[in-house]
Amino acid sequence: MKKYKRQFQSRGGSMDKVRRILVYVWKERAAPQQAHFLQSLTGFFSDGDDEEVQVSCSLQRNQFILSSGDEGHRVPLKRASFCPIKHLSPAEAAAVPPEVLQRGVDVGVSIVLQTADRRVLLTRRAKELRIFPNVWVPPGGHVEPEETMLEAGLRELQEETGLRLDPEEVSSRVLGLWESVFPPLLSRGLPHRHHVVVYMLLLSPLSHLQLQSSLRPSPAEVSACVWVDSRLARAVVAAVDGEDGEVPVEQLPGSFSVMEVSPDGALSQSLLPPAAFIGRVPSIGPDTERVSTGTKYALDLWLRGLETSNPPSC
């Protein structure tokens, strides 16, 4: 696969930051407009207070455009019921620093890698990371200028896990879009990051054991890896963030095998209890080890699509 490097523009001997791919919104006949940092994208396309809408998405000239578009090519876009952007008061909005407001809404891609034996790979983010530390997510990250979503996803997959997949040997589809805000709750501070995460399903012809031998995670980004089967995924999805419903754990084993990543990148097998995966986002205090809310959404879409052969794409 072609290797992509971060692109810089030099002016007077200094290095400018990488151009970020930002989200634009397009409704009816108006021209696409750059989304504002405090703009709820799900709300923009909703007729009421819906948490999930159907949109069209496209990456054009380094702009990720969301529109109400062609009904035949729509994908779901969802936000959490407790999304900070949705619940921000005028006083809280006024307190968001100008440098944060100027960021706009970023776009990222997250790879839901499904193996031939129907497992998906999740990685636990390193505890040193500033955003969502110690949280389980699929591999993924930012999109660089001139990349396609698939190219960005494959690059991030390789950078984070060491897995290098040939784009000609995998089948890819967009599962859905997630409106992500950090911190995820207003009770934990004002928002300072706003993303649309594109969850892309990649179907590999290899089993998880075959792929396991090629895992070389980056310890700067990943502290552990786990292959999730449909049984664990259903329990994870049932632990709905913001709700208190019981999670059916009776059919789950007492522990799950994970690969811990040492500071030097070495892998070692470890066992984690189900609680590490079925926890909910805490309303106050530091975050805990859990599966992210957006990842739960992606796993739900994955489970619903397991028996279908033509999931949506964009």
Distance CA 48, CA 188 (A): 27
Structure-block tokens of residue 75: 């994908």
Distance CA 124, CA 223 (A): 6
Distance CA 188, CA 287 (A): 9
Global pTM value: 0.90
Question: Going by C-beta distance under 8 Å and a sequence separation of 6 or more, which residues neighbour residue 286?
Answer: none
Peptide bond just before 90 cis, omega within 30 deg: no
pLDDT score for 9: 29
Helix or strand or coil: residue 10?
strand
> Do 229 and 137 contact (CB within 8 A), yes or no?
no
What are the mean pLDDT values of the chain's consecutive 10-residue runs (314 residues total)? Answer: 32 46 88 95 89 94 89 88 95 97 96 97 95 95 94 97 92 96 94 97 95 96 97 95 84 93 95 94 86 98 80 48
Angle at 175 between CA 184 and CA 231, to 5 degrees: 80
H or E segment to which residue 172 belongs: strand 171-182
Helix or strand or coil: residue 234?
helix
pLDDT score for 307: 66
pLDDT score for 15: 31
Show me where the domains of the chain are located.
Answer: 22-307
CA distances 100 to 96, 190, 191, Å, are 7, 10, 8
b/e map 138-164, b = 16+ CB within 10 Å: bbbbbbbeebebbbbbbbbbbbbbebe
SS3 content of the chain, % helix, strand, coil (to 5): 20, 30, 50
> Do 48 and 147 contact (CB within 8 A), yes or no?
no
Whose structure tokens read 């909910």? 280
CATH match for 22-307 among 3.30.365.10, 1.10.10.920, 3.90.79.10, 3.30.420.40: 3.90.79.10
